[in-house]
Amino acid sequence: MSEQKLQARVYSRTAPTEEQLAQLRDFLHQKYQRPVNLHWERDDRMKDGFRLELGEGESRELVYDWSSSGKSRQLKDKIAAAIRSRSDVIPLLRKTLEDFQPEASATEIGTVLSYGDGIAEVSGLPGAEYGEILIFENGVRGMVLDLKEKSIGCVVFAGEAAVQAGSVVLRSGRSAGIPVGDAFLGRVIDPLGAPIDGKGKISESDYYPIEAPAPGIIDRQPVDKPMQTGLLAIDSMFPIGRGQRELIIGDRQTGKTAIALDTILNQKDQNVVCIYVAIGQKASSVAQLVQTLQEHDALRYTIVLCAAASDSATLQYIAPYAGCAMGEYFMHQGRDVLIVYDDLSKHAVAYRALSLLLKRSPGREAYPGDVFYLHSRLLERAAHLADHLGGGSMTALPIVETQAGDVSAYIPTNIISITDGQIFLESSLFFAGQRPAVNVGISVSRVGSAAQIKAMKQVAGKIKLELAQYREMASFAKFASDMDASTKRLISRGERLTELLKQPVYHPMPVAEEVVAIFAGVRGYLDKIEVSETADFENRALAEIRAAHEDFLREIDEKKVISEELDKKIGDFYAAFTDNYLADKRQKAA
């Protein structure tokens, strides 16, 4: 049986001589040890040189480019490699230019079979890798997201009609990534790292791949440093530690983003870098959030990465990974990072759209089978690194939207099982005026008191139990005509603690003030106050402590513990303040 001939075609503006064709046939025969069938085809686009392609039509795989553009591409790649490998680039660039000799190296080439809805099906490119950037002949870039036996599925970053069937595709040899650096702080960018706030170009310090393996167990250390949210209800009962993943879950319009934003505002002067990733949000909502950050002087330590609802599913899909890569840059410098993914339910929908366009069969509830891995490989990258890696941390606050409070739906249960706890916001509590509307029964932090300062542990130890008992008893109390004294006392305490935990939006509290505020509730100093006066009592007490007893707050901040002496001082203060408050009330009533 005769050996199959290698099909090759040479493109140039002028026809090659028979001697030149014979040299090319000899080169290919020696290279591939097969007989060669070589044809010439005119290409007026080539100013000089020639381009040699192997294979025909959709099966063409390799190209030898000996034109001026091909040689300049080789030179550009050599210079880029030289710059990456050395810091003193000027003499290196001079030597690279002096020593440059073009080489007859093969380049993989692909062809677009079809394009639509941001998905290009490409033949050829046998060495392409998952997540690699591909470059189309008009300069548009895409990312490999599907590897089949005879073709590749590529998501395209540009808009519609960006790519045409039959156009040439080249490999970049580079994984999808995002430019990173301190210059991005205070800016609003898209998932490709380009600024969208109109403030000009951003100078990058490095380039990080958007997909990276999560740190291993040896590279981590326990989560034991608090990430204060400034919210009484969370810091006292469901503390968040640096390196933790705490899910914020609830129906739409229940204050999920407000909790994340309060946490960002509370990091002012705490040396924490904050990253807010908006996935599928309205552009107007993101603009309003940026304005809020500016008004509270929080934008200077925050990066806002936005893939709006009007952006393609491709950009919405890569947005959280791009934000995570940006966070890893700071984490590997030994800094603490807080990243908010708002929200991952829209991220799952974007990935489902891409998967259906890539003709992947859907599984349970119409989501692709790997949707769990989609979020697990993202959230596992949040960590508190070991000291030998700098001790930096990245704390993740993913947000998920539920339908009618159903936490047993597919995406919510997936992310609940991945994270280290969840803060569940309940619609009925929200509409009843409880802000933040945290459900004490379903919410949990699996890190627990390990992420609290000792002073908070001392005062908040019983508050979750007392509130849970109150919620249970309050439902029975509606139908009970007569209650014993202990039940009345339990309900009375629960009502005041519930009022104490109410907090206006965008007003996070320093941890020392949180401690002294909860001290009043759990030690019974609010029991003599009317429920409706709890907020007024708390505000006036804190104002007096700031004015006359700042040493209370200073000692808690410095020592992180309430000593017996400080405990007595705070108790004496509240006893006297409560008597004065009640006396003022009686005097006004008289």
What would the 3-class secondary structure string for 187-237 be?
Answer: CEECCCCCECCCCCCCCCCEEEECCCCCCCCCCECCCCCECCCCCHHHHHH
User: How does pLDDT run along the chain (590 residues), one tens digit per residue?
Assistant: 456 777 778 777 778 888 878 887 888 777 777 787 888 888 777 777 777 777 665 445 556 666 666 666 666 666 666 665 555 556 655 655 555 555 555 578 888 999 988 899 999 888 899 999 998 888 889 999 999 988 999 999 876 677 888 888 888 888 899 999 999 999 999 999 999 999 999 999 999 999 999 999 999 999 999 999 999 999 999 999 999 999 999 999 999 999 999 999 999 999 999 999 999 999 999 999 999 999 999 999 999 999 999 999 999 999 999 999 999 999 999 999 999 999 899 999 999 999 999 988 888 788 998 999 999 999 999 999 999 999 999 999 999 999 999 999 999 999 999 999 999 999 999 998 999 999 988 899 998 888 999 999 999 888 888 888 888 787 776 666 667 778 888 888 889 999 999 999 999 999 999 999 999 999 989 988 999 999 999 999 999 999 999 999 999 999 999 999 999 999 999 999 999 999 988 888 76
* Secondary structure of residue 305 in the 3-state scheme: strand
Contacts of 589 (CB under 8 A, 6+ apart): none
Contacts of 490 (CB under 8 A, 6+ apart): 466, 469, 470, 473
Rounded distance between C-alpha atoms, residue 87 and residue 57, angstroms: 44
User: In this structure, which long-range contacts are made by residues 77-82, counting pairs with CB atoms below 8 Å and at least 24 apart in sequence?
Assistant: none
Rounded distance between C-alpha atoms, residue 284 and residue 289, angstroms: 9
pLDDT of residue 320: 98
| CB-CB neighbours of 457 under 10 Å | 18
- Amino acid sitting at position 157: F
In Å, what is the CA distance from 396 to each residue of 111, 254, 306, 378, 552?
40, 20, 17, 10, 32
| CB-CB neighbours of 396 under 10 Å | 29
Rounded distance between C-alpha atoms, residue 24 and residue 211, angstroms: 42
Active site residues: 446
SS3 track for 548-588: HCHHHHHHHHHHCCCCHHHHHHHHHHHHHHHHHHHHHHHHH
- Strands of the sheet with 302-307, listed across from one edge: 188-189, 302-307, 272-279, 336-342, 393-401, 247-250, 421-425, 444-445
* DSSP-derived secondary structure for 165-178: TT-EEEEEEEE-EE
pLDDT of residue 1: 41
Select from 412, 196, 212, 399 the least CA-distant residue to 311: 196
Q: Count helices and strands (H / E) in the chain.
A: 18, 20
* Secondary structure of residue 111 in the 3-state scheme: strand
Rounded distance between C-alpha atoms, residue 440 and residue 461, angstroms: 14
Beta 107-116 vs 168-175: how paired, if at all?
antiparallel
Cα diameter, the chain = 117
Half-sphere exposure of 357 (CA within 13 A, CB side): 22
User: Whose structure tokens read 């959230």?
Assistant: 379
CB neighbour burial string for 184-220, b if at least 16 within 10 angstroms, e if fewer: bbbbbbbbbbeeeeeeeebeeeebbebbeeebeeeeb
Beta 132-136 vs 119-124: how paired, if at all?
unpaired
User: Whose structure tokens read 């099909």?
Assistant: 7
Beta strands in 261-406 (DSSP E): 272-279, 302-307, 336-342, 393-401
358: alpha, beta or left, given left = phi > 0 and alpha = psi -120 to 50?
A: alpha
Rounded distance between C-alpha atoms, residue 282 and residue 187, angstroms: 18
| Structural contact between residues 256 and 429, judged by C-beta atoms closer than 8 angstroms | no
Beta 168-175 vs 132-136: how paired, if at all?
antiparallel
| CB-CB neighbours of 127 under 10 Å | 10
